[in-house]
């Protein structure tokens, strides 16, 4: 996937930097571990510090000193999951900030304007993310509204006067909205017919890539994978396919198998802070008593900084003592594991060895951990 900030090799995992930072990490550390792209969030950055503040600093890349690609979620999911007293109408969604209770209205046009000010490489359309479970009527209405909002987002793209300049890889240059890709978001819950209808409507409008939203929100994993499998044939190749918010290692492998290119999830960073550390045989729940005197690394054979220098026993001690270093080392390890898994997946695909790689990984990996 070619972006203004370089080529992104897929399949790719994007760690989440909702507020312009990957918690406990510097941008250079993330890139040194193998990070190619990150996900930031329009809702959070719109509320704090505000898109105009970021624009004045040259865009989000310059503001947070990240030279790789950035995807910005439109903020739709956060509006529906975090904000208070939502009022959804065809023109947009009115909500109260979860930070200070201030009132705002997100429209498709505003979602695009904010993302253009942020200067992300990939913008997402504003969508309505229905809860799981919900009624068929709610699902149909969410698909209808998401399609209409997607059409308005495409019309709004680059439609307003903006002569600002922003930094690209540290070099000042004229910003053009056409540099930013715009992805549509397929909705429809786990209803295969609604997913097909949503996908076909978005393809008719025409976008640079397509995302599957509204999954990993409580539905059974089998239903999620069946929905992915049923939806992807209705999306064009070679447009990138993005499965939003899905990030358990076994789900990534199974979704790659079905044709997904892009993933994002809070799992590796959030779980690092709560003591769940990932390895090739499954997650290690570091606070378990069995690790109290365990001198082995988190994941034997892992070459990350944490595994080269520290034991499970030490990591357990740091978490028990609530030391900041616990979050740092855990995040370094988890991101290294995720980036390595995706790199190994790309190599297996290139070599024509994907079926054997998938079988071997899933046979060794126990999602329940220990």
Which residues are the active-site residues? 73, 264
d(CA 210, CA 135): 25
Cα(49)–Cα(265) distance, integer angstroms: 23
Radius of gyration of the chain (CA): 21
Contacts of residue 47, defined as CB under 8 A and 6 or more positions apart, other chains included, come to 97, 99, 104
Query: 355, 335, 350, 365: which is closest to 34 by C-alpha?
Result: 335
- Number of CB atoms found within 10 A of residue 275's CB: 21
Calpha distance 259→236 (Å, rounded): 11
**Nearest-angstrom CA–CA distance, 340 and 178:** 32
């Amino acid at each position: 996937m070619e972006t203004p900030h370089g080529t992104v090799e897929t399949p790719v995992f994007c760690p989440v930097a909702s507020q312009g930072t990957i918690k406990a990490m510097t941008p250079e550390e993330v890139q040194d571990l193998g990070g190619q792209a990150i996900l930031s969030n329009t809702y959070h950055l719109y509320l704090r510090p505000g898109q105009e503040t970021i624009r004045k600093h040259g865009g989000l890349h310059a503001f947070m000193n990240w030279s790789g690609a950035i995807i910005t979620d439109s903020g739709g999911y956060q509006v529906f999951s975090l904000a208070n007293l939502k009022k959804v109408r065809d023109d947009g969604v009115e909500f109260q900030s979860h930070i200070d209770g201030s009132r705002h209205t997100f429209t498709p046009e505003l979602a695009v304007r904010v993302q253009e000010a942020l200067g992300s490489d990939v913008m997402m359309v504003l969508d309505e993310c229905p809860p799981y479970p919900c009624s068929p009527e709610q699902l149909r209405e969410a698909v209808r509204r998401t399609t209409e909002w997607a059409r308005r987002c495409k019309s709004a793209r680059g439609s307003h006067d903006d002569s600002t300049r922003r930094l690209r890889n540290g070099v000042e240059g004229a910003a053009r909205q056409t540099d930013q890709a715009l992805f549509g978001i397929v909705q429809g819950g786990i209803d295969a017919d609604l997913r097909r209808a949503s996908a076909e409507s978005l393809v008719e409008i025409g976008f640079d890539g397509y995302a599957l939203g509204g999954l990993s929100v409580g539905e059974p994993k089998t239903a999620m994978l069946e929905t992915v499998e049923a939806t992807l044939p209705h999306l064009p190749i070679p447009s990138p396919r993005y499965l939003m918010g899905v990030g358990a290692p076994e789900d990534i492998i199974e979704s790659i198998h079905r044709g997904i290119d892009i993933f994002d999830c809070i799992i590796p960073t959030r779980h690092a802070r709560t003591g769940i550390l990932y390895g090739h045989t499954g997650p290690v729940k570091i606070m378990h008593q069995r690790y109290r005197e365990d001198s082995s690394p988190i994941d034997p054979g892992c070459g990350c900084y944490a595994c080269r220098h520290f034991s499970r026993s030490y990591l357990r001690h740091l978490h028990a003592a609530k030391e900041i270093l616990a979050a740092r080392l855990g995040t370094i390890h988890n991101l290294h594991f995720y980036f390595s898994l995706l790199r190994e997946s790309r190599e297996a695909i290139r070599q024509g060895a994907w079926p054997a790689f998938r079988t071997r990984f899933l046979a060794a990996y126990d999602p329940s951990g220990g």
